[in-house]
Amino acid sequence: MEILVENVSQIFGAAPHQVVALDHVTHRFPSQKVTCILGPSGCGKSTLTQIIGGIEPCSAGQITIGDGRAGLGSQSVMMWQSLNLFPWRSVVENVAFGLEVAGVSKAERTEKGKKLLASVGLRGFHDHYPRQLSGGMRQRVALARALILERPILLMDEPFAALDAQTKIVMQEELIRIYEASKQTILFVTHAIDEAILLGDEIVVMTARPGRIKDVITVDLPRPRSQELVGTPEFGKLYKYILHLIREEVQNAMAQEDLAVAAS
Ligand SMILES: Nc1ncnc2c1ncn2[C@@H]1O[C@H](COP(=O)(O)OP(=O)(O)O)[C@@H](O)[C@H]1O
Ligand SMILES: [Mg+2]
């Protein structure tokens, strides 16, 4: 399901302390593709994702989901770095929470929850509690909790940023596998260039604040992908190109901070 973002701006606070987080952002996120949103910290990546997910309204502009008949948020599910699992609920009760809210019977949601847990490599862990799991396993629970809703759009805001390097690699490959099977429309926010190239069909590079779109890069690397891709010349070429773009933006962001400090 495609997402059309037109002239979206987001301004926080009132003058003279206004923060322009997004400035006339326009992009068509293609249906059933993975688009990575890449940019320096504070450039508005989370803000854009929250607006698309219907979690916060925008100051100006328009978002159209699919043919425009569906309301914002109704077709998507969000996944963050902080998992917000309920510590007092078992793993399967966490995964099935969305179905419980939707009024699905206990037997049905437990069965579905167990199936999804198996599909993310957690067969047999349904009766555990979040505290009994490793960070990577908890991340899988959060992924299963998002997938159980079977929404056509998956919004992921730096979901793997807090994981150790090895677990992150495993989770990235897990996501690639899930995507190949489900072909959802995925928006994946990251500040890691290698992650963006590995996962994305397309990379939207944002500028430092105010967040605008600096460049859109098509990633033409074959699927299904795996970590082996990282060593190839094609990967290296893309990495170098994007690094150059990002370096400019990080320098701009640092210059802005220097100005702010000088003015205060
Ligand atoms: N609710 C808010 N109120 C005021 N400023 C905010 C709010 N949310 C985000 N911002 C500011 O908007 C800018 C973009 O934030 P964010 O979207 O979180 O960036 P990113 O996810 O790219 O790191 C930042 O300068 C941030 O401080
Ligand atoms: Mg963010």
Q: What is the DSSP string of 89-122?
A: S-HHHHHTHHHHHTT--HHHHHHHHHHHHHHTT-
Which pLDDT value is given to residue 50? 96
- Domain assignment present for 68: yes
The pLDDT tens digits of the residues spanning 39-98 come to 988 899 999 999 999 999 999 999 999 999 988 999 999 998 777 899 999 999 999 999
Report d(CA 241, CA 108) in Å as an integer: 49
Which pLDDT value is given to residue 162? 84
166 CA to middle of ligand 1, Å?
29
Report d(CA 9, CA 26) in Å as an integer: 9
- Domain assignment present for 264: no
Which pLDDT value is given to residue 78? 92
49 CA to middle of ligand 1, Å?
11
Non-local CB neighbours of 247 within 8 Å, separated by 6+ positions = none
Q: CATH number, domain at 137? A: 3.40.50.300
Domain span holding position 7: 3-73+86-243
- Domain assignment present for 81: no
Report d(CA 257, CA 62) in Å as an integer: 30
- Domain assignment present for 263: no
DSSP single-letter state for residue 83: -
pTM summary value: 0.93
Q: Which atom number of ligand 1 is nearest to the Cα of residue 41? A: 23
Domain count, the chain: 1
Which pLDDT value is given to residue 260? 76
Spell out the alpha helix ranges (H) of the chain: 45-52, 91-95, 97-101, 106-119, 135-147, 165-182, 193-199, 233-263
- Domain assignment present for 80: no
Which pLDDT value is given to residue 89? 95
Which pLDDT value is given to residue 213? 96
By most ligand atoms within 8 Å of CB, the mutation choice from 46, 48, 155, 190 for ligand 1 is 46
Which pLDDT value is given to residue 199? 97
What is the number of the ligand closest to the CA of 211? Answer: 1
- Domain assignment present for 146: yes
Q: Which atom number of ligand 1 is nearest to the Cα of residue 39? A: 22
Which pLDDT value is given to residue 95? 95
- Domain assignment present for 78: no
- Domain assignment present for 249: no
Low-confidence ranges of the chain (pLDDT < 50): none
2 CA to middle of ligand 1, Å?
25
Longest dimension (CA), the chain: 62
Which pLDDT value is given to residue 258? 81
Q: Give the tokens for residue 204.
A: 């939207």
